[in-house]
Amino acid sequence: MFPRKLENFYTHSRYIAEFWNTISNLPFIIIGFLRLSESNIFQVNILYFFFMMAGLCSAYHHSHPKKWTIIIDWIPISISIGLCFRYSIFQYLSWISIFKLSIAFWSLITDHIWTPVNVPWGHVFWHILASFAIDSTYQDFKLLYRI
């Protein structure tokens, strides 16, 4: 597999190594916070908690990239994936959520293998697409509790 090209470090801020990759995690944090405040369903809240943590941990990884910080980035993502299987979320997905997840996954794969979009915009695009696709997925799951 080809290594992913990295954003030039500290070009926009002397405190944030990969500025745009760090900032592009804001949708995870903002959407997660807003969804946490509107739901009283435990399973949905725990998913959005880890959704928000994924944004925070990814932002930390991109702002201070070291070999070990990728582990911090992947811990809430791994827990979220495990919870999705635990709650059997994937069987409740709407076609639009499947489409959004597919586009986000395609963006991730192309960013890491082919890099058709200049660095850092492919990875920034991945963060934004993933945040909206996962939110759509969690909202499909939340509909179960309204029925």
- 8 within domain boundaries: no
Asked if 72 and 61 count as a contact pair (C-beta separation under 8 A), the reply is yes
> pLDDT (tens digit, 9 = 90+) per residue, 127-137?
999 999 999 99
Question: Distance between CA atoms of 52 and 30, rounded to whole angstroms?
Answer: 8
* Domain limits for position 120: 19-143
Structure tokens at 29: 């944090």
CA atoms within 13 A on the CB side of 98: 6
Q: Is residue 10 part of a domain?
A: no
Which pLDDT tens digit goes with each residue over 83-112? 999 999 999 899 999 999 999 999 999 998
**Separation of alpha carbons 110 and 85, rounded Å:** 25
Residue 109 lies in a domain: yes
Write out the two tokens for 1. 């597999």
Residue 100 CB contacts under 8 Å (≥ 6 apart), including other chains: 129, 132, 133, 136, 137
Question: Confidence band (pLDDT; 50, 70, 90) for 144?
Answer: confident
For 26, the token pair is: 């804001």
**What is the token pair recorded at 133?**
């696709």
- Indicate whether 93 belongs to any domain: yes
Q: Is residue 6 part of a domain?
A: no
3 lies in a domain?
A: no
Q: Which pLDDT band holds residue 122 (cuts at 50, 70, 90)? A: very high
The mean pLDDT value of the chain amounts to 93
Q: Is residue 13 part of a domain?
A: no
Q: Within a domain: residue 81? A: yes
pLDDT digits (tens, 9 = 90+) for 37-78: 998 999 999 999 999 999 999 999 999 999 999 999 999 999
Instruction: Please state the domain count of the chain.
Output: 1
pLDDT of residue 7 exceeding 60, the answer is yes
